[in-house]
Amino acid sequence: MPCMARISPLVRALSTLCILSALAACESTPSTSTSTSLPDTGPIWTILLDAFQGPNHAAFAQQRAASFTQSAGLTGFWVAASADQSEVNFGRYPAADSSQAKADLRRLQSLAQQGRITPRMLSIVPSSQPAQGPNAQWELRNAREPGAVYSLVIEQFTPALGPDYRRAAEQQCANLRAQNLKTFYYHGPQDSVVTLEQFTNAAAKIATSGPSAGRTVYHPFITDTLQKQYPFLKINGQVPAPTNPNQKPTPTFLIRIPD
């Protein structure tokens, strides 16, 4: 998911962590069914191998999943289909960095190097399945409003906080909600964020003149109101101290709401 500041990525299809799932964690044939063995909180992680759009995208994805199953000699490929896109995935995991995921990565990479499978992507991503659990209604994708495109990132939680950093993001979202703030959370492949409010395309524009020409500028409501209250990004609960006198903390920034 592209963002407008230099910060660790929250992308789905372009993550640099790649994995392949264990046979025991997978379906026996390609399908769109969901696992019942994963936790009921946090994201479900999977391997994205291919994606199709346009007419008959679901049929193309199912064909690709079946082809992978036959050529790899593995089961566990499955298709996640939405109205606009179908994705070919392998496996479902409770965490992106599980030991099983790492082992599966090596296996999938080996198959690709041998030419037995030819995926266009090999990325560990949060599944396109909606979040579940007690805070699922505040997950950014689940809570997306009609016409909303952006949300303002005000806090980031990383593995440096510990293995429960994703739960910490959800808890902070709940804490801010208790203060009547319209916050959301999103779990990316490498970190989690807490965001504030939702905005349409009008929230960010490319300036065509003036000192900011050619750069992205935010709507005055964001710069003059929200960023006055939340000027700098908190990381694991605090604004990091600058490493030199000329350095400033990372400003809060907009991200696109993931599909």
pLDDT score, position 168: 92
For 183-215, the pLDDT digits (tens) are: 999 887 678 899 999 999 999 988 888 888 888
Half-sphere exposure of 76 (CA within 13 A, CB side): 21
Mean pLDDT over residues 90-108, rounded? 78
Residue whose entry in the numeric block shows the structure tokens 């298709």: 79
- Which among 72, 106, 126 is the end of a domain? 126
**Total tally of structural domains belonging to the chain:** 2
- Which among 126, 149, 184 is the end of a domain? 126
Cα separation, 13 vs 258, in Å, equals 11
Residue 222, in any domain of the structure = yes
Residue 146, in any domain of the structure = yes
175 and 108 together in one domain: no
242 and 149 together in one domain: yes
- pLDDT of 126 > 70? The answer is yes
Residue 16, in any domain of the structure = no
Confidence class for position 5, pLDDT limits 50, 70, 90 = very low
Residue 14, in any domain of the structure = no
**56: helix, strand or coil:** coil
pLDDT score, position 239: 95
Residue 157, in any domain of the structure = yes
pLDDT score, position 1: 38
Residue 178, in any domain of the structure = yes
E-assigned strands of the chain?
45-53, 77-81, 85-93, 123-126, 150-157, 183-187, 192-199, 204-206, 216-218, 234-235, 253-256
121 and 228 together in one domain: no
- Which among 126, 161, 177 is the end of a domain? 126
164 and 106 together in one domain: no
233 and 149 together in one domain: yes
- pLDDT of 149 > 80? The answer is yes
Cα separation, 148 vs 11, in Å, equals 18
92 and 163 together in one domain: no
105 and 202 together in one domain: no
170 and 240 together in one domain: yes
101 and 194 together in one domain: no
57 and 102 together in one domain: yes
Confidence class for position 11, pLDDT limits 50, 70, 90 = very low
145 and 251 together in one domain: yes
Confidence class for position 132, pLDDT limits 50, 70, 90 = low
Plot region of 4 (φ>0 → left; ψ -120 to 50 → alpha; else → beta): alpha
For 63-97, the pLDDT digits (tens) are: 999 999 999 988 888 887 776 778 888 887 777 77
- pLDDT of 51 > 90? The answer is no
100 and 141 together in one domain: no
**What is the CATH classification number for the domain harbouring 103?**
3.30.70.1070
Query: What is the distance, to the nearest Å, from the Cα of residue 122 to the centroid of all Cα atoms in its chain?
Result: 15
pLDDT score, position 122: 81
Range of the domain at 84: 23-126
Residue 5, in any domain of the structure = no
Structure tokens at 35: 């696992």
Percentage of the chain lying above the pLDDT 70 cut: 79
Query: Per mean pLDDT, which of 2-11, 53-62, 63-72 is the most reliable?
Result: 63-72
Residue 175, in any domain of the structure = yes
